[in-house]
Amino acid sequence: MPEQKTFVASDEAKGKAKQLRLFAVLAWVIAIAGEIFAILKLIHNETLTWLIVAIVVILILAVTGSMLWKKANRLDPASEKDKVKFFIQNQLGAIIGVLAFLPLVIAIFLNKDTDKKTKGIAGVVAIVALLIAGISGIDFNPPSVEKYTQEINQQNSVLEKLNPGDSMVYWTKAGNKYHIYQDCPHIKGREGVTYGTVKQSFEQRGISELCKTCLKRAMKEKNITPEELGIKPDVLNAADTAQ
């Protein structure tokens, strides 16, 4: 039985996450600045077109920031022990998405210098953008140190049973599964095959699933049943997708 270890992001993963978060914050800052500019300069009948253009640009920036932030969280996740920090870190994209549009929506409908038509068109566009930014910023399955710890230890436990004494695996740059065998038909002859631990496959590619072709081969060679691995037999019947 392999030693149970708590997941800790590597220095490389933390460095990449920090860089992604900086870019996310930059995108959000520009989005908020664009919102302020739109509130102060563009809520007028004669600038409706430019106001809509500004809303679209702000939306693109807000969504881009959220995508980068989520990717950073998967490289360097928060712990569930601190509930407040865990919530804020994983749902910050949704919070910023709302902040990037809610004041603008309010300003559009309260502005006395615009007619009903302008308020209606600009208001609807801004509300739709707010919903898109808010929903796209939500992380419905947020990563955490605890989830990664559990999943990696489970994978290592399976690997120890399938390949005792060797917990190293293979994966490709574009793959979505890791492999026990270097000559697995899904990766044989491919360039850029990486050799490392399950934890490294998590950090570098977000991979957390063993190739079923390798799984079936190892089970046959070791004469191991699905029950011994703690997996459902029907999992083996599913076809392997791109590796």
Q: How many helices (H) and strands (E) does the chain have?
A: 9, 2
pTM of this structure: 0.81
Give bridge partners of residue 230 from the DSSP assignment.
Answer: none
H/E segment holding residue 169: strand 169-171
Which tens digits make up the pLDDT trace of 75-94?
999 999 999 999 999 999 99
Residue 25 confidence (pLDDT): 98
Question: Which pLDDT score is estimated for 87?
Answer: 97
Q: What is the pLDDT of residue 1?
A: 46
Supply the DSSP symbol for 38. I
**Contact assessment for residue 96 and residue 30, using Cβ atoms and an 8 Å cutoff:** no
Residue-wise DSSP of 170-217: EE-TT-SSBBS-TT-TTTTT-SS-EEE-HHHHHHHH----B-HHHHHH
Q: Tell me the mean pLDDT per 10 residues along the chain, length 243.
A: 71 93 98 97 93 98 98 94 96 97 96 92 97 97 92 84 82 88 90 87 80 90 85 67 54
pLDDT of residue 10: 85
